[in-house]
Amino acid sequence: MDEETRMEEVAAIKGMPVRRNMHIKLKQAVPSGYPTEKMKSQLAAVGLNCEETSEERLKQYKEEVLRDFPEGNRQTFYIAKGTPKRSQVYSCMAGTDGKKMNDVSYLKALGIEEVEVNGSWVIDDDAGGYRRDLCYISYAPHFDYLRDNFPGIFPGSYAGEKKVINEPTGAAIRDSFKTIAMTVCTTIKSGIQKADLESVVSTILGDNTSENPKDYVQDDVLYTYLVNGYDPETETAVSVGVLAVKYSIQIKDYKDKSDHKDGRYNDAVIQAEARFVSYSKEEDIKRDIENLAGFQNRIMDMEAPQDMDAEEEMLEAIPIVKKKVTVHTNQPPANEETFKTGMPLAGVGDYADTMIFFCPDFENVGYIDNLESSVKTTYSRSVTVGFENTAGISISAEISMEMDFVVAKYGVKMGVSMSLTSAWNQSQTETLTFEVGPGEEAYLYQGKLRSIILRYNPANNMFEYINSSLNSFHSDAVKTTREPIVDPKTKAIWQEMKKE
């Protein structure tokens, strides 16, 4: 029995009101349910349009799916889907100050988008609902760490199911719904109200991601945020939680319309993992967030759990980057310390990239010799601001990091302060204009850096520079000087020439 169910039973026995400690602002809604027409259109969208998908047959399937589920008392207030890619999770964890993002922005940064269905409630505040913290806790490696290391304290529950089905495609999809929904009900002891559960089930079927057009494959993660005992007058609830269901549906030759007189069909494989956690006190959420501080400290020494897939295992080995970029005097060695000083990139594949900046310098972009003129002269020219070569540059839209550095060369200094965002994925052209008075001369310099991608490969725990990514980064800072910024020997020659 979970804590909140026990609280409700004790309160009922004593004739006392149940404590509502969770503050959340919700609006009542009508559950969307799962209309037969919607199921039919979803199946048609993936190419299924036959006798098995007639409205009469689908209505029968839906009744078979829902009739076995007990009536629960939890209600949904937010339903979202998305499989966070390693690069998205990494960017959000490493390069973004999550506290500056509201809950919706945080979820979007992870590629988790709300689906267009309603449960009994809808959220009335983008920043509320505990969604960010609950998502962070329900992330599978975090959830499993808390479950394994804080038994009796962490209120999470887990259930997993794998089923091989040998039936026609329509029946296989019906059983996919049943397998996933039953896994959910096993995880949530006090259940979900049937109308809300029907809305949740309606989101399971999605786009076919199979590389073989004959097969149907879907891998997804469904996030259902649940509330228990919500009072709209006080805007409080007995508990708030999240259910994260990672599932996979694979149906071979799913459009096969042969007679199958022998009663044999191609196997369909359905797998589901459900992780559910619910809290009745805000301080318990904070406690588990704090307990996860020990998670990163032990990642490099931790043997990966058997049920953690390769992508998750690699993700957790990635060093966390600071929120401020360091500019090095020269190209630093390829190691973990250097990796932490860079700007995270939204990479692809089973590795992580950061952009390392070094070697600040001045680049001459203009000169006016107005020594023999009696009038003021104006000079304008276009310059590149950003990366000289933008190929392969992919900064996440949620990244915002500060970079401060000083360009110092032959006694001339210039301080530069700038923000690095996704705007730098494309170089920009700006027009610089400066004026020189009569009888004067001036040099115009632009601050620039060298950059290179440092890659970490968790598979072999190695750091290496991608030499082909060596690049130049032109800042938006400029400086004018009366004399050229050159070495002393060249400057002496220049001064002698001026005397002639």
For every residue of 426-481, DSSP letters joined together read S-EEEEEEEEE-TTEEEEEEEEEEEEEEEEEETTTTEEEEEEEEEEEEEEEEEEEE
Q: What is the pTM of this model?
A: 0.58
- Give residue 487's Cα distance to chain centre: 48
What would the pLDDT profile of 304-360 be if each residue is shown by its tens digit? 444 444 444 444 444 444 467 889 989 999 988 888 888 887 655 667 788 899 988
Q: Quick check: 285 and 130 in contact, CB under 8 A? A: yes
Exposed / middle / buried, residue 99 (Cβ in 10 Å: 0-12, 13-18, 19+): exposed
Question: pLDDT band at 13, cuts 50/70/90?
Answer: very low
Q: Ramachandran region of residue 320, left (φ > 0), alpha (ψ -120 to 50) or beta?
A: beta
Q: Where are the domains of the chain?
A: 3-298, 320-499
3-state secondary structure of 134: helix
Question: In angstroms, rounded to a whole number, what is the distance separating the alpha carbons of residues 347 and 396?
Answer: 9
Question: In angstroms, rounded to a whole number, what is the distance separating the alpha carbons of residues 241 and 156?
Answer: 10
User: DSSP code of 71?
Assistant: P
Region 210-217: mean pLDDT is: 81
Across the chain, what does the average pLDDT equal? 77
Placement of tokens 């799962």 in the chain: 34
Q: Cα–Cα–Cα angle for 143, 149, 153, nearest 5°?
A: 80
Q: Which pLDDT does position 10 carry in this prediction?
A: 41
Inform me whether the pLDDT recorded for 50 exceeds 60.
no
Q: Which pLDDT does position 266 carry in this prediction?
A: 65
